[in-house]
Amino acid sequence: MSAWETNPVLTIEHLTMRFGGLVAIDDLSFNVGRGDITALIGPNGAGKTTVFNCVTGFYKPTEGRVVMNRTNGEHYLLERMADFQISAKAKVARTFQNIRLFGGMTLLENLMVAQHNPLMLASGYSLAGIFGLSTFRKAERQAVEKARYWLEKTALIDRADAPAADLPYGDQRRLEIARAMCSGPELLCLDEPAAGLNPKESGELNTLLQYIRKEHGTSILLIEHDMSVVMEISDHVVVLDYGEKISDGTAAEVKDDPKVIAAYLGVPDEEVDAVEEEVGI
């Protein structure tokens, strides 16, 4: 039995999202296993990012249920929670397809913003902070250390005090992952983390993701087009097409699924002819 069946961290049940008459996701159900790297793939417009937006609270699903099962045994119904609470309480962090960094702030500041909630608590909602109490200063030092750790892991430590907008594209992608990790997530949702990376960079990304999973026990759900990333690191692959799940299994199983091949590459001409004959065109 695989982790996504026995011990899911995220359970999506009958998720449907309609925009007016357009059905972006139609009755989608799948699980994300705890400690797994799960890839969500599918052709353009299949509804992958919409699933992400439903999970992270940026969209409210029309129907269905999204349950986050935290390690401490708490369950959260994500479809009912405000977006910022999903990150703060349910510990689901995400990155964006078009990178959303705080460009005018330094790398360190970006990572400090990600630790807003614990720091806010430590600063006594700013009151203790204004008077510079030692409890806050200690919490701040710890936050800086955590930021330093992630900057080292993403090889960005040399530019810690440079503005984020000055970074090259690949570094910005890594910084976004580091920022998401600084919020201490149990499920990390990455929207096309390898988009625009060269082969060397996407190799490094694989190493980073596997490190995150292994050392921090963070489950990862990622949307990806780069098959080298998907096939190499995912334990579980879910394939979407036109808002419906067409395949679900290990990378090897999905790769040979005729439905997946049809969705990506189309079907041979003979089959089209056969169907056309059947319906009498």
Looking at the Cβ atoms of 56 and 219, the one nearer to other proteins is 56
Q: Which of the stretches 6-14, 60-68, 96-104, 233-241 binds other proteins when contact is defined by CB under 8 A?
A: 96-104
Joined together, the tokens standing for residue 70 give 């935290």
CB 163 within 8 A of CB 104: yes
Q: How far is the CB of 183 from other proteins (least distance, A)?
A: 5
Among 81, 101, 208, 212, binds other proteins (CB under 8 A): 101
Q: How far is the CB of 26 from other proteins (least distance, A)?
A: 26
At 110, list the tokens: 């970006």
Closest CB to other proteins among residues 27, 83 = 83
| Smallest distance from other proteins to CB 152, Å | 11
For residues 53 and 202, which CB has a smaller minimum distance to other proteins in the complex?
Answer: 53
Shortest gap between Cβ of 48 and other proteins (angstroms)?
17
Give, as one character, the DSSP assignment of residue 231.
H
- Residue in 97, 117, 142, 210 binding other proteins, rule: CB under 8 A: 117
For 63-79, b where at least 16 C-beta lie within 10 A, e where not — what string?
Answer: ebebbbbbeeeeebebb
Q: How far apart are CA 178 and CA 198, in angstroms?
A: 19
With b for 16 or more beta-carbon neighbours within 10 A and e for fewer, the 108-128 pattern comes to bbbbbebbeeebeebbeeeeb
Bridge partners (DSSP) of residue 249 are 237
Taking CB under 8 A as the rule, does residue 149 contact other proteins? no
Find the Cα–Cα–Cα–Cα dihedral 171, 176, 178, 182, rounded to 10°. Answer: 160
Size of the site for other proteins (CB under 8 A): 47
Task: Name the minimum Å distance from CB 240 to other proteins.
Answer: 22
* 9 to 48: interface string for other proteins, x by CB under 8 A: ----------------------------------------
Q: Which of 26, 109, 204, 244 binds other proteins (CB under 8 A)?
A: 109
Output DSSP code: residue 208.
Answer: H
Contact 92, 55 (CB under 8 A): yes
What is the C-alpha to C-alpha distance for residues 225 and 194, in angstroms, rounded to an integer?
8
The half-sphere exposure of 122 on its side-chain side, counting CA atoms within 13 A, is 17
Q: In the stretch 75-94, what mask flags binding to other proteins with x, by CB under 8 A?
A: --------xxxxxx----xx
Residue 137 in the binding site for other proteins (CB under 8 A) = no
Binding site for other proteins (CB under 8 A): 56, 58, 83-88, 93-94, 96, 100-106, 108-109, 112-117, 119-120, 123, 125-126, 129-130, 140, 144, 147-148, 151, 157, 160-161, 163, 165-166, 179-180, 183
